[in-house]
Amino acid sequence: MDERTRAGGWDGSVLLDAGDALNAAPYLVAGRMGEVEATARFLVDEYNREGVAAMTLGERELALGEPLLKELAERAKFPFLGANVLGREGEPAFHGWTVVKVAGIRVGVIGLVSEMVAKQAILGREDRPAPPWLIGNPVEAAKKAVTALEAEGVDLVVVLSHLKQTEEDDVAKAVPRVALFLGTHDMGISTETRLAGSAVAVSAGQKGKYVAITTVKLPPAWKGGDAVVDAGRREALVGRIARSKQMVESLQARLDHARAQAEAPDADGPKGAAARRKPGPPIQMWEQQLAGAKAELQIAEMDLKDLESADADKGGQGTVGSAMFELVSLTPQVADEPETKARVDAFRVDHPDPAKASGH
């Protein structure tokens, strides 16, 4: 939150988690339940210390089962979110959304879990009953949540997403009030944002190896229903236009040279021989490439014009926010926070890391 918040003398940040953090797998390993429970409680305690504001439930949390998950939800000083996680009678099983005040801005945070992934995950086994909840349609859950958040007068609506990208697209098209999707279930790492409908979507990778930092800028005239665009897209378009102009100039020079060669007189042949005709320059090839480069330049300029026109209201005052994304890799070069590392080391004395213990 930059322009608008600084105008009001505000500054701030919020820490969120998109799920699959409290359990190593979408199932429970026989004989290791004690370790799983201890690890989940330890992580919730650490999240409390770090000031996490909200967490969306992933299928790995749901696999923990109702008694433990309810206990963890009570233990947490932040809400477990799952707007489409329903009890067997269709009642909400957890909080669906929350409102977080960040730098003076009221941010509505909706938690959604993938309907497809949750159904495919191993949430129940033959030796224990199926979980006592259903995963509802995320689009319908998002509509309901946005209606409630608008009644509360939130400034910005974001989805803390444990959805697949196709599901994010569906939600974005049906619920345009959503400005940002933070997180995703889809595997893979991307250092760029993507568009989900008109919303900006970012991902923080997997296995806790990355931190996604999303900086939102809201101009002073921005209102809750206005758009938030990808700031990187503007920069990318400016760079694309500059490169296209250079390409057009280069191809135009080559075409001019080829035409000049074509108009030059034939070279003289050996004494007593007929004049020798030069090979024809590739004029048609340069013409085709130049036409393609000009078309690319025109498209990029039109895209930038559309973006800039969307960035101003009828009076010419900017009303469109922007989001900048940075994916930070937590490599060994990133130093651990000493107190947190001491607590982790103490925990590992009683609960060794099973991956390291097995040599993986």
What does the pLDDT look like over 133-144, one tens digit per residue?
Answer: 788 999 999 999
Q: Which pLDDT belongs to residue 5?
A: 43
CB 214 within 8 A of CB 324: yes
Cα separation values, 341 from 79, 138, 242, 344, Å: 25, 37, 47, 5
Average pLDDT, the chain: 79
Task: Determine the straight-line distance between the first and last CA of the chain, rounded to whole angstroms.
Answer: 42
Find the Cα–Cα–Cα–Cα dihedral 103, 194, 140, 228, rounded to 10°.
40
- Looking at the domain 3-227+320-353, which fold is it? Purple Acid Phosphatase; chain A, domain 2 (3.60.21)
Q: Who contacts 137 (Cβ-Cβ below 8 Å, separation ≥6)?
A: 84, 115
| Buried residues in 275-295 as b, exposed as e (16+ CB within 10 A) | eeeeeebeeeebeebbeebbe
Confidence of residue 1 (pLDDT cuts 50, 70, 90): very low
Whether the per-residue pLDDT at 267 is higher than 70: the answer is: no
> What's the mean pLDDT in 111-128?
68
The two tokens of residue 204 are: 């923080």
Whether the per-residue pLDDT at 321 is higher than 80: the answer is: no
Share of the chain above pLDDT 70, in %: 75
d(Cα 216, Cα 321) in Å, to the nearest integer? 7
Q: Mind listing the pLDDT tens digit for each residue in 244-264?
A: 899 999 999 988 888 888 887
Q: Please, how many CA atoms are within 13 Å of residue 228, restricted to the half-sphere of its CB?
A: 31
Q: Which residue has the higher pLDDT, 48 or 308?
A: 48
Q: Which residue has the higher pLDDT, 143 or 301?
A: 143
Q: Who contacts 120 (Cβ-Cβ below 8 Å, separation ≥6)?
A: none
Domain with CATH 3.60.21.10 in the chain: 3-227+320-353
Whether the per-residue pLDDT at 314 is higher than 80: the answer is: no
Confidence of residue 14 (pLDDT cuts 50, 70, 90): confident
Task: Give the sign of the dihedral formed by CA 64, CA 68, CA 70, CA 72.
Answer: negative
Confidence of residue 113 (pLDDT cuts 50, 70, 90): very high
Return the number of other C-beta atoms located less than 10 Å from residue 148's C-beta: 16
d(Cα 24, Cα 359) in Å, to the nearest integer? 17
Cα separation values, 175 from 10, 66, 89, 124, Å: 29, 30, 25, 32
Confidence of residue 77 (pLDDT cuts 50, 70, 90): very high
Lowest mean pLDDT: which of 160-174, 315-329, 344-358?
315-329
- pTM score: 0.72
* DSSP at 220: T
> What's the mean pLDDT in 217-235?
70
